[in-house]
Amino acid sequence: MSDDALAELSDHGVSIWLDDISRHRLVSGNLQELIDAKHVVGVTSNPSIFQKALEGSADGNSPYADQVHDLAIRGVSLEESVRLLTCYDIREACDVLRPVFDATHGQDGRVSIEVDPRVAHDPDKTTAEASSLWWLVDRPNVMIKIPATEQGLESITASIAVGISVNVTLIFSIDRYKKVMEAYLAGLEQAREKGIDLSTIRSVASFFVSRVDTEIDKRLDKLGSDEARAVRGKAGIANARLAYEAFESVFIGDRWDSLAADGAHPQRPLWASTGVKDPSYDDTMYVTQLVAPHTVNTMPEATLNAVADHGVISGNTANTGYHEARAVFAQLAELGIEIDEVTELLEVEGVQKFMDSWAVLLEGVQQQLEAGAKKAGK
């Protein structure tokens, strides 16, 4: 196996983050191995990832077992138990990645944890949740994930304004992405007014890729025409490339120059949902076709290994083909598929999926706490 493709990504200004975390990765040394061997310089998490990681934590052999047992004996509430379990993992991952954070002067070495998805449409609760997680993890290289719902935009600005580094997640549309960048700039301006050192604030904007193709391909397959088949698997990358075009247009000019002069860093685009869902597609395409400087690609381990094994990096591929990307959406419109309707649906579904995972996570931890309390005779 050759990791040259991963090294080439780094050479092209792409930061490689792992889209997964678990206590097992931490205690086994697996995360450190990926840092050393696979050029991983960051980690992202979400409610679905934690749900999977914590499944079976009542098992005495689970790395979570002792902590769950102690929480049960102490009678810690369900909500607080989940926070303590997940934040422990994030804090430990932050410590593992701290040398990367220091070496890159804060650009990488980042670990993300998401606010409770149930408050995604409540800006006040989301802002309070972001602050709480920031304090609880208490590491300079943590990033708080805030969903890019319409209501979440206010929380993004408010969190940035007090110096919290934010990973904005669940971005599907170009219009919403532009509002996310505006929310970031507004937050930086407010932080500057408060006298906060802008150089300490970092942000990424997580733009989802494969889910766009999954939804649009489903509609194309129903049409079944040659014209429909011709644009299968093209929408996700086209959408992301137009997002990069928007990024290039925002972080220039007098407004940005003023912030940059005071130490501000651009909010980097992060390509999320990069695991290929259709087995007929190249399993590295959401990586190799979205190469550009000042970007992050967060990959599940299977995608990371695929890129290391047979990925071919052919230069910067995200900051080209803007005309072709617009042509893809014109073709889709001719077929009766409107990208705005698709991305709106995906946002709703994305929030709901995380809420569902959070509910399963809570239920699972509740059962384990009850089992632990019973075993302790409480």
The predicted-structure confidence for 247-291, as pLDDT tens digits, reads as follows 999 999 999 999 999 999 999 999 999 999 999 999 999 999 999
Round to whole Å and give the CA distance between 247 and 241: 10
State the CATH number of the domain containing residue 117. 3.20.20.70
95 is a domain residue = yes
Global pTM value: 0.95
Distances (CA, A) of 131 to 12, 34, 179, 237, 329: 34, 30, 22, 34, 39
pLDDT band at 3 (very low <50, low <70, confident <90, very high): low
Please report which confidence band the pLDDT of residue 368 belongs to, taking 50, 70 and 90 as the band edges: confident
**Domain assignment of residue 221, yes or no:** no
Alpha carbon distance 107, 104 (integer Å): 5
Percentage helix, strand, coil for the chain under 3-state DSSP, each rounded to 5: 60, 10, 30
Domain that holds residue 186: 4-210+240-316+346-375
Separation between Cα atoms, residue 96 and residue 89, nearest integer Å: 11
d(CA 9, CA 41): 12
At 195 the pLDDT is 98
**What does the pLDDT look like over 311-322, one tens digit per residue?**
999 999 998 889
| Residue 340 within a domain | no
Q: Which is higher by pLDDT, 242 or 368?
A: 242
Residue 111 is assigned to a structural domain of this protein: yes
Total number of domains in the chain:
1
Tell me if 44 is assigned to some domain: yes
Indicate the helix (H) or strand (E) that contains 144: strand 142-147
| Amino acid at site 364 | G
**Assigned domain for 217 exists:** no
Q: Is residue 219 part of a domain?
A: no
DSSP one-letter code for 109: -
Q: What's the one-letter identity of residue 159?
A: S
What value does the mean pLDDT of the chain take?
94
Residue 303 has pLDDT above 60, yes or no: yes
Residues 152-172 have pLDDT tens digits of 999 999 999 999 999 999 999
Whether residue 145 lies in the annotated active site: yes
Contact (CB, 8 A) for 202 and 270: no
Residue 115 lies in a domain: yes
Tokens 């792992």 identify what position? 18
3-class secondary-structure state, position 352: helix
The one catalytic residue in 38, 52, 125, 145 is: 145
Task: Name the percent of the chain lying above pLDDT 70.
Answer: 97
